Amino acid sequence: MTKVKVITDPEVIKLMLEDTRRKILSLLRNREMTISQLSEILGKTPQTIYHHIEKLKEAGLVEVKRTEMKGNLVEKYYGRTADAFYINLYLGDEELRYFARSRLKTKLDIFRALGYEFDETELLNVMDELLKKEHQYKTEISKEMEEKEEELKDFSNEDIIHAIEWLAMAKIGRDEESMELLKKLGELLKK
């Protein structure tokens, strides 16, 4: 199985963001599972799970890993096609941009609940620009990791994900525009 897979197709990203599919991908992160097992855990009918699995298979995100005979039936065990998927919400698709921005608005609600005061539009714009840069760097790093799959085979998924985070921070630290945005973020988010 691939360690890191960069997803750049906006339609596949939207498919992954649907709640049930996101949960299926999460459950399949640690082990292979059947439609019956997924159905039981998620409280959905097997038909519903099958529909979502088929969509994920078509998108190249899951595959049949093995089959077992259970009486006269063949049980298919599904798994992810990569340990870690990296998506970039800043690929130019307006629907994904809207989704990314709406997720940022939730953070503003948390900041307010903690007693921070700020200009919402200005803060949202700074956070949006910073996130766009972060996604750009993480996409570049993830693609590099895809190309160096063999060299990474002995590292855990968690370590690889953390390495992507640290390498992205290093790139942000070398980018003047990013540093100015971070400084502005610090000025805007004060109690």
**Per CATH, is 89-188 categorized as 3.90.550.10?**
no
Taking alpha carbons only, the member of 85, 108, 112, 109 closest to residue 26 is 85
* pTM over 0.85, yes/no: no
What's residue 59's pLDDT?
A: 96
| Residue 77 amino acid letter | Y
| Residue 174 amino acid letter | R
How far apart are the C-alpha atoms of 31 and 154, rounded to whole Å?
Answer: 18
How far apart are the C-alpha atoms of 79 and 33, rounded to whole Å?
Answer: 7
Domain spanning 2-84, CATH architecture: Orthogonal Bundle (1.10)
The pair of structure tokens assigned to 29 is 């992160």
What's residue 1's pLDDT?
A: 66
CB atoms under 10 Å from CB of 16, counted, come to: 18
CB atoms under 10 Å from CB of 38, counted, come to: 22
Q: Give the distance, in angstroms, between the CA of residue 167 and the centroid of all CA atoms in the same chain.
A: 17
Flag whether pLDDT at 91 surpasses 80.
Answer: no
By the 8 A CB rule, do 78 and 53 touch?
Answer: yes
How far apart are the C-alpha atoms of 167 and 158, rounded to whole Å?
Answer: 14
The pair of structure tokens assigned to 145 is 């990791």
Domain segments of the chain as ranges: 2-84, 89-188
The pair of structure tokens assigned to 48 is 């519903």
pLDDT (tens digit, 9 = 90+) per residue, 121-171?
999 999 999 988 998 899 899 889 888 888 988 888 788 889 999 999 999
What's residue 40's pLDDT?
A: 97
How far apart are the C-alpha atoms of 178 and 133, rounded to whole Å?
Answer: 7
Comparison of pLDDT for 49 and 99, the residue scoring more? 49
Instruction: Please tell me the least confidently modeled range out of 30-34, 92-96, 102-106, 161-165.
Output: 92-96
Band of pLDDT at residue 89, cut at 50, 70 and 90: confident
Q: Once rounded to an integer, what is the mean pLDDT over residues 104-113?
A: 93
